[in-house]
């Protein structure tokens, strides 16, 4: 049973993560990970680079996101399939469009399973 790192903040969480997504992936591959999640804050901006880097190293990334809420503790969200990925992306879109550029406003209520956006 091998461990998978599921909480990784890259520098696409601006001014928080201190490594590029591809650096994360390359290091993970060097350590023998077969997969690694990328969980930036309220964004999926770094996942494609991570994906490309992972593909080059023959490992897999789990596209994911850390949802920083306005009214609750942060959630780590991992889409299991295409439909849930679409919901995640739509949720972030809603959060983005109701905030100023560079901000994403999410609330607990929006993330409840019954409130699928």
Partner 1 sequence: MGEQLYLSVTRSYLGDDHKKIYRLAQLSELYHIPLVATNDVHYHHPERRQLQDILTCVREKCTIYNAGFRLHQNAERHLKTPEEMHRLFRQYPEAISNARRIADACQFTLESLKYVYPEELTTEGRTPQEELTYLSWEGAKERFGDDIPEKISSAITYELTFIEEMNYAAYFLTVHDIVRFARSQHILCQGRGSAANSTVCYVLGITSVNPTKIDLLFERFISSARNEPPDIDVDFEHERREEVMQYIFNKYGRDRAAIVATVTQQHQKGAIRDVGKAMGLSVDTINRMSTSIWRYTDEWFDEGRLLEHGLNPEDPHLKKVLALTKQMMGFPRQLGQHTGGFVITQGKLHELCPILNARMENRTCIEWNKDDIDTLGFMKIDVLALGMLTCIRKAFDLVKQYYGKDYTLANIPEDDPAVYEMISHADTIGVFQIESRAQQSMLPRLRPKEFYDLVIEVAIVRPGPIQGDMVHPYLRRRNGQEKPDYPPQLEDILKKTLGVPLFQEQAMNIAIKAAGFTPTEADELRRSMATFRLNGVIEKFEKKLIDGMTANGYELDFAQRIFKQLKGFGSYGFPESHAASFALLVYVSSYLKCYYPDVFAGALLNSMPMGFYQPAQIVSDARAHHVEVRPVDINHSFWDNTLEEKDTIPHALRLGFRQVKGLNQEEMAVLLSARKKGITSILALREAGVSQTALEKLADADAFRSIGLDRRRALWEISSLHDRPIGLFTGQASESTVEQAVRLPEMSAPEHVVQDYNAMALSLKAHPVSFVREKLSLLHVTAVKDLATIPDGMPVKVSGLVLVRQRPGTASGVCFITIEDETGCANLVVFNQLFEKYRKEILQARLLMVEGKMQREGEVVHVVVRQCYNLNRLLQQMTVVEETTVKQAEIKAGTEELKLPGARNFR
Q: According to CB under 8 A, which one of 7, 70, 115, 116 is a site residue for partner 1?
A: 7
Q: According to CB under 8 A, which one of 70, 72, 93, 116 is a site residue for partner 1?
A: 93
Q: Binding to partner 1 by residue 90, rule CB under 8 A?
A: yes
Q: Binding to partner 1 by residue 68, rule CB under 8 A?
A: no
Q: How far is CA 70 from the centre of its chain?
A: 18
Of 78, 73, 111, the C-alpha closest to 92 is 111
Q: Binding to partner 1 by residue 58, rule CB under 8 A?
A: no
Give, in order, the Cα–Cα distances in Å from 83 to each of 30, 79, 87, 88. Answer: 32, 8, 6, 9
Q: Binding to partner 1 by residue 29, rule CB under 8 A?
A: no
* Closer of 68 and 89 to partner 1 (Cβ): 89
Q: Which residues pair with 36 in a beta bridge?
A: 5, 61
């Amino acid at each position: 049973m091998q461990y998978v790192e599921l909480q990784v903040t890259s520098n696409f969480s601006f001014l928080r993560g201190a490594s590029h997504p591809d650096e994360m992936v390359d290091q993970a591959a060097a350590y023998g990970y077969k997969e690694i999640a990328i969980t930036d804050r309220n964004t999926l901006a770094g996942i494609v680079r991570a994906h490309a880097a992972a593909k080059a190293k023959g490992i897999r990334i789990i596209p994911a996101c850390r949802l920083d809420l306005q009214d609750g503790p942060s959630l780590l969200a991992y889409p299991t399939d295409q439909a849930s990925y679409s919901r995640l992306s739509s949720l972030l879109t809603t959060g983005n469009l109701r905030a100023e550029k560079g901000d994403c406003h999410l609330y607990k209520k929006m993330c409840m399973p019954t409130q699928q956006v």
